[in-house]
Amino acid sequence: MKFKGKHFYNTADLSQKEVNYLIDLALAMKKGKVKKSLSGKSLAMLFFNPSLRTRLSFTIAMQKLGGLGVDFPIKDGYTFECELGKIMDKGTIEHIKDAAKVISSYCNVIAVRASDLITSSSESVKVQEWSELKKDKTIKSFMEYADVPVINMESNVYHPCQGLGDAVTIKEKLGKTKKKKYVMTWVSHPKSLPMATPNSQILSACDLGMDVVIAHPEGWELDTEIMKTMKQKAEEAGGSLSISHSQKEACQNADVVCAKSWGALKNYGNWDYEKKLKENLNGWIVNKNLIDITNNAIFMHCLPVRRNVEVTDEVIDSKNSVVIDEAENRMWAQMALLQSLIKS
């Protein structure tokens, strides 16, 4: 596998053989096959947004491999410029071109979380148009100028570490995954959330050759171009991809039910309008009635979760729920990734 020195932006940039290699390495590490392979190596983690799981799992992943993870939250109004040739006489403090090269001189790998929509605020924030957000300028600029691998810890478009961790969990719980039924169901949420996580979660299920069904209300379609890649990946791995506007219909005989909310692309950024549309969609929740019609499905959620809005306590606390293993597997997946990317 040719991972060394490469950036990790999206699982879809890897071949399915490479994705499976990382999953198997993560599972072997979880079973105890861990060496201090990154002794003397360091990871700089740049968080433009809040995080619990990603922050802790990367820090501990580095520690378990004998290296150091340094958490660098970007706050107090510290701003970066990414446009080349810009006359920086306004607010931005530093060009990413300089920052990426400086950090590369200290560290062996850089990880960046840069999403315009992830905030701790109780209301959804104002964002640019999707066509602009989709350019993922911040992380792409770090990738352009860094001299070491850059890992995407969640951008506007993808959350590949979540996707990889989910793939590890599905393989761990189901064993064989080909043609097993995976349902990604949209669920209600008081805020409008990014599409990055469902994009990467679905891509991973596609890489595992599953029969993937995306269930969402009309108007909550994901990006057409990304859906095209999902379909290609699913078919390449011997699975399929389909859409349903009925949660109940989608979940019949499912082996995996994964819940996630996201903002409607059709009205992206028009959150007040979306809030009104969502008033009639409170029924989009994962409850026991839904799990009862599955093939004793495992229940997945990336967390954090709004209990009794996205999923009932009864389901998330049941034996079907694998959400804690899913969060733990983020760490094993990232250990496999770090060991594979960092040059010795």
Would you tell me which residues interact with ligand CP (CB under 6 A)?
51-54, 162, 302-303
Residue with smaller CB distance to ligand CP, 41 or 330: 330
Closest CA to 199 of 240, 228, 168: 228
For the chain, report the end-to-end CA distance as a whole number of angstroms.
15
Residue with smaller CB distance to ligand CP, 152 or 162: 162
Residue with smaller CB distance to ligand CP, 133 or 153: 153
Least distance to ligand CP, CB of residue 192, Å: 16
Least distance to ligand CP, CB of residue 248, Å: 27
Least distance to ligand CP, CB of residue 62, Å: 16
Helices (H), the chain: 16-30, 53-64, 96-106, 130-133, 137-145, 160-174, 196-207, 224-236, 247-251, 271-278, 288-292, 313-316, 323-341
Least distance to ligand CP, CB of residue 309, Å: 17
Residue with smaller CB distance to ligand CP, 54 or 247: 54
State the amino acid at position 307 in one-letter form: R
Least distance to ligand CP, CB of residue 165, Å: 8
Residue with smaller CB distance to ligand CP, 260 or 278: 260
Closest CA to 72 of 50, 47, 100, 36: 47
Least distance to ligand CP, CB of residue 297, Å: 20
Residues 295, 20, 154, 219: is their CA dihedral positive or negative?
negative
- Structure letter (DSSP) for residue 295: S
Please say whether the beta carbons of 204 and 164 come within 8 A. yes
Token look-up 């990367």 returns: 58
Residue with smaller CB distance to ligand CP, 56 or 277: 56
